[in-house]
């Protein structure tokens, strides 16, 4: 289940932040990272502490490098999005690890416990990917090249709600 996590994480992050400077490729990567432990069962990658630690590490390591920080923040954002899209919070033992016990890999990952629903979620992810391709203008070779090289979406794909009051016609709300 990679498409569900990668695409929906990018689209939902875009809907919330509408930031043309964020690297949406790293959001997708961060959302895919917890899938690595699927063969072993739920563990630290499905726990809240892991993206929080990644966020803290990035904030400390990039104190004087604002542009690098902005780029790398996509990884913990994607990891948090994975937890939301996976419903990882429904297994308190895993989600709150190690605060509710230190036993690892005891529970089956949410990705495997859904059965047929996982396939339907993946198909929905494909549909969202097709919509996003058009919405973000990735059929334009220049926009697609920019996205593939920098992970950034063209500013013109940002909705009108991303403009501040002074940028609206007449400066009115």
What is the per-residue pLDDT across 41-61, written as a single tens digit (0 to 9) for each?
778 898 999 999 999 999 999
Phi (first) and psi of residue 100, to 5 degrees: -115, 25
Identify the pLDDT of residue 2: 87
Q: What is the 3-state secondary structure (H, E, C) of the chain?
A: CCHHHHHHHHHHHHHHHCCCCCCHHHHHHHHHHHHHHCCCCCCHHHCCHHHHHHHHHHHHHCCCCHHHHHHHCHHHHHHHHHHHHHCHHHCHHHHCCCECECCCCCCCCHHHHCCHHHHHHHHHHHHHHHHHHHHCCCCCHHHHHHHHHHCCCCHHHCCHHHCCHHHCHHHCC
Q: Exposed, middle or buried: residue 64 (CB in 10 Å: 0-12, 13-18, 19+)?
A: exposed
Identify the pLDDT of residue 104: 73
Identify the pLDDT of residue 161: 45
Identify the pLDDT of residue 106: 67
Does residue 102 lie within any of the structural domains? yes
Does residue 97 lie within any of the structural domains? yes
Identify the pLDDT of residue 163: 42
What does the pLDDT average to over 64-81? 93
Number of structural domains, the chain?
1
pTM of the full predicted structure?
0.83
**Residue 103: which domain range?**
3-157
Q: Are 118 and 93 in contact (CB under 8 A)?
A: no
- Whether 171 shows a pLDDT value over 60: the answer reads no
Does residue 164 lie within any of the structural domains? no
Does residue 152 lie within any of the structural domains? yes
Does residue 66 lie within any of the structural domains? yes
Phi (first) and psi of residue 124, to 5 degrees: -60, -40
Does residue 173 lie within any of the structural domains? no
- Whether 168 shows a pLDDT value over 60: the answer reads no
Does residue 94 lie within any of the structural domains? yes
Phi (first) and psi of residue 71, to 5 degrees: -70, -50
What does the pLDDT average to over 57-68? 94
- Whether 139 shows a pLDDT value over 90: the answer reads yes
Does residue 122 lie within any of the structural domains? yes
- The per-residue pLDDT for range 74-120, each reduced to its tens digit, is 999 999 999 999 888 888 888 888 888 777 766 677 777 778 888 89
């Amino acid at each position: 289940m990679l498409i569900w996590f990668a695409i929906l994480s990018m689209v939902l992050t875009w809907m919330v932040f509408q930031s043309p400077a964020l690297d949406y490729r790293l959001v997708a990567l961060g959302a895919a990272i917890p899938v690595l432990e699927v063969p072993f069962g739920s563990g630290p990658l499905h726990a809240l502490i892991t993206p929080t630690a990644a966020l803290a590490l990035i904030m400390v390591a990039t104190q004087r490098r604002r542009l690098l920080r902005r780029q790398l923040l996509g990884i913990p954002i994607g990891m948090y999005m994975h937890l939301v899209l996976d419903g990882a919070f429904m297994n308190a033992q895993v989600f709150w690890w190690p605060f509710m016990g230190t036993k690892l890999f005891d529970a089956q990952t949410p990705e495997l416990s859904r059965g047929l629903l996982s396939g339907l979620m993946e198909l929905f992810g494909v549909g969202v990917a097709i919509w996003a391709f058009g919405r973000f203008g990735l059929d334009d070779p220049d926009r697609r090249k920019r996205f593939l090289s920098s992970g950034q979406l063209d500013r013109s794909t940002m909705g009108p709600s991303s403009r501040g009051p002074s940028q609206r016609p007449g400066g009115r709300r």
